[in-house]
Amino acid sequence: MIHSLWIPAFRMKMDVVPGRYNKAWFKATKIGEFPLLCTEYCGTGHSDMLTTVVVHPPGGYEDWLKKASNMLSPVFRPADLTDAAGLLRALKTGGAPVRVWLLERLAPETREKISAWPGGAVSEELRKVVVDDLNAVLTGDPIYDEARFAGVAVSEEARQLLAADPPPAGDDRIGLNRFLLVDAFPDALSRAPDLTEAGRYIYERKGGCRSCHSVDGGANVGPTFKGIWGKTHAMRQGPPVTVEENYIRESILDPNAKIVSGFDPVMPTYRGRLTDREIDAVIAFLKTLAEEK
């Protein structure tokens, strides 16, 4: 079986032959989106082998890359303001040291919008600017101060990170700041970021999972992901295995360790290609595909 990579707009076509490495290059001269597809009939999933080449303007790729990487960052999204009105009321009321401190850390324009907010529903515009300012706080310096968080019940997750040696850095520091803000405003902010959409992105694009695993129950090179979570499957060798976090992680890093009965050991390892957090995102996505009981 062979494939053939075809980008019609670029007049570029190259066969993909088993056991042979081929190279191709092109120079895009126009900004836009252009179809890329397999032009050699290769089996049942042939019609699904298509995607898009995106040609960005100067600087556009860097902006896209930053946005894509933020899918896995523990920063806040607008949906993480589970009670946006409650948060704004707390900031306007003040009183607690952490409330006064956080309001002062927001941009002057945001403070003006909060001051002018009449109560009731929070507009999408105001929600967005508040989230942007909260993320500026998250991604800055460590925010914990004993006097600042006086009266706040600091969670065990935050305490463990505060006690870490060396101090947390990167996403771990952002995660610590997030835990602390959620501890201070537990009814207004979501504790953990939703990794589902990041997992879907990895399934559909980065990981290439969709080329071998369907989500609609259809047969493919590998088992379908539809309803796979929590089910017990017979293996080609060894006892049956129930699909849960450890099994999924092992299957991504060491795919030939346990092969589902009826399938061949053809999956490559993703060790070094997916980070632990990206694997967490894939797991979160698979959980959403569990069949209703």
pLDDT of 85 > 90? The answer is yes
CATH classification at residue 201:
1.10.760.10
Shared domain for 258 and 209, answered yes or no, is: yes
Shared domain for 22 and 44, answered yes or no, is: yes
Residue 251 lies in a domain: yes
Shared domain for 81 and 176, answered yes or no, is: yes
Adjacent-strand bridge partners of 35: 52
If one counts the domains in the chain, the total is: 3
Confidence class of residue 293 from pLDDT cuts 50, 70 and 90? Answer: very low
Confidence class of residue 2 from pLDDT cuts 50, 70 and 90? Answer: confident
> 134 is in which domain, residue-wise?
74-184
Shared domain for 165 and 108, answered yes or no, is: yes
- Terminal CA-CA length for the chain: 40
Shared domain for 79 and 165, answered yes or no, is: yes
Global pTM value: 0.58
Q: For the beta carbon of residue 202, count every other beta carbon within 10 angstroms.
A: 23
Q: Which of 158, 184, 210 is the last residue of a domain?
A: 184
Residue 63 lies in a domain: no
Confidence class of residue 205 from pLDDT cuts 50, 70 and 90? Answer: confident
Q: Which of 184, 211, 230 is the last residue of a domain?
A: 184
Say what the alpha-carbon torsion angle 49, 263, 206, 250 is, to the nearest 10 degrees.
180
What integer pLDDT is reported at residue 66 of this predicted model? 66
Shared domain for 177 and 201, answered yes or no, is: no
Residue 189 lies in a domain: no
What integer pLDDT is reported at residue 44 of this predicted model? 77
Higher pLDDT, 201 or 259: 259
Residue 273 lies in a domain: yes
CATH classification at residue 10:
2.60.40.420
pLDDT of 43 > 60? The answer is yes
Shared domain for 165 and 78, answered yes or no, is: yes
Shared domain for 122 and 155, answered yes or no, is: yes
Q: For the beta carbon of residue 99, count every other beta carbon within 10 angstroms.
A: 17
Mean pLDDT of 22-40: 91
pLDDT tens, residue by residue, 125-177: 999 999 999 999 998 899 999 999 999 999 998 999 999 999 998 888 998 99
Residue 67 lies in a domain: no
Shared domain for 178 and 208, answered yes or no, is: no
287/211 Cα distance (integer angstroms): 19
Mean pLDDT of 182-189: 95
What integer pLDDT is reported at residue 291 of this predicted model? 61
Nearest-Å Rg of the Cα atoms of the chain is: 24
Residue 22 lies in a domain: yes
Q: Which of 184, 213, 235 is the last residue of a domain?
A: 184
